[in-house]
Amino acid sequence: MALAQSGAKKDDDREDDAEYSPFYGIEKASVLQEARVFNDPQLDTRRCAQVITKLLYLLNQGETFTKTEATEVFFAVTKLFQSKDVPLRRMVYLMIKEVTPSSDEVIIVTSSLMKDMSSKTDLYRANAIRVLCRITDGALLGQIERYLKQAVVDKNPVVASAAIVSGIHLLQTNPEIVRRWSNEVQEAVQSKNPLVQFHALALLRQIKQNDRLAVSKLVTSLIRGTVRSPLAQCLLVRYTSQVIKDSAGNAPGGDRPYYEYLETCLRHKSEMTQYEAARIITNSSTVTGRELMPAITMLQMLLTSSKPVHRFAAARTLNKVAMSHPLAVTNCNIDMESLINDQNRSIATLAITTLLKTGNEGGVDRLMKQITSFMSDIADEFKIVVVEAIRSLCLKFPQKYRSLMNFLSGILREEGGFDYKKAIVDSILILINEIPDAKESGLVHLCEFIEDCEFTYLSTQILHLLGEEGPKTSDASKYIRYIYNRVILENATVRASAVSSLAKFGLAVDSLRPRIVILLRRCVYDNDDEVRDRATMYLTALEGDQAEREEAKHSLFDPLKIPLANLEASLQSYDPSESPFDIHSVSVDVKAQPVVDNKMKKTGRDSAPSVPETTSAVVAPTVSHEKRLSSIPGFSGFGKLLTSSQPTELTEPETEYSVNAVKHIYAEHVVFEFNCTNTVAEQVLEKVTVVVDGSEAEDFQELLSRSIPSLPYGSPGQAYVVFQKPEGVSTGKFANTMKFVLKEVDPTTNQPEDEGYDDEYQLEDLQVTAADYFVKTSVVSFKSTWESLQSEFEAEYGLGPRESVQEAVQAVIGILGMQPCEGSEVVAANARSHVCFLAAKFLGEIQVLVKLAFGMDAKKAVMMKLTARSDDEGVCSIVHDIIGNA
Beta strands 657-665 and 648-649 are antiparallel
* pLDDT confidence of residue 590: 46
C-beta of residue 644 within 8 angstroms of C-beta of residue 589: yes
pLDDT of residue 447 exceeding 80, the answer is yes
Minimal CA–CA distance to 189: which of 146, 219, 216? Answer: 219
Q: What is the pLDDT of residues 620-676, one digit of tens each?
A: 233 467 777 877 877 878 888 888 888 888 888 778 888 889 888 888 889 999 988
The one-letter amino acid at 199: H
Q: Which pLDDT band, with edges at 50, 70 and 90, does 594 fall under?
A: very low
Question: In this model, does residue 600 exceed pLDDT 70?
Answer: no
Confidence of residue 93 (pLDDT cuts 50, 70, 90): confident
pLDDT score recorded for residue 849? 92
Q: In terms of DSSP H, where are the helices of 266-415?
A: 271-283, 289-302, 308-324, 326-329, 333-338, 345-358, 364-375, 380-396, 401-412
Single out the residue of 838, 840, 842 nearest to residue 850, CA to CA.
Answer: 838
Across the range 158-178, mean pLDDT stands at: 86
Q: What CATH code would you report for 28-261?
A: 1.25.10.10
Q: CB of 348 within 8 A of CB of 355?
A: no
Fold held by 473-558 = Leucine-rich Repeat Variant (1.25.10)
- Cα separation of 577 and 762, whole Å? 42
Would you say 93 and 62 are in contact if contact means Cβ atoms under 8 Å apart? Answer: no
* Alpha helices (H) in 775-853, listed in sequence order: 782-788, 805-816
Fold adopted by 598-768: Immunoglobulin-like (2.60.40)
Q: Identify the sign of the CA torsion 571, 572, 573, 579.
A: positive
Question: Quick one: which of 675, 757, 747 has its CA closest to 711?
Answer: 675
- The mean per-residue pLDDT over the stretch 24-28 comes to 80
**What fold does the segment set 772-884 form as a domain?**
TATA-Binding Protein (3.30.310)
Within 10 Å of residue 710's Cβ, how many Cβ atoms? 16
Can you give the pLDDT at residue 588? 61
Q: Fill in the amino acid letter for 538.
A: Y
CB atoms inside a 10 Å sphere around CB 243: 19
β 669-678/846-856 pair status: unpaired
653 burial level (CB within 10 Å; 0-12, 13-18, 19+)? exposed
Residue 253, pLDDT > 50, answer no
Does residue 609 register a pLDDT over 50? no
Residues β-bridged to residue 304: none
For 338, left (φ over 0), alpha (ψ -120 to 50), or beta?
alpha
Contact criterion met (CB below 8 Å) for 229 and 254: no
pLDDT digits (tens, 9 = 90+) for 58-73: 888 888 888 888 888 8
- Calpha distance 573→471 (Å, rounded): 38
- Is it the case that residue 617 has pLDDT exceeding 50? no
Pick from 266-270, 617-621, 700-704, 709-713: least confident: 617-621
For 794, residues 6+ apart whose C-beta sits below 8 A from its C-beta are 865, 866, 867, 868
Query: How far are the Cα atoms of 123, 147, 181, 280 from residue 154, in angstroms, in the given order?
Result: 13, 10, 13, 34
Say what percent of the chain tops pLDDT 70.
88
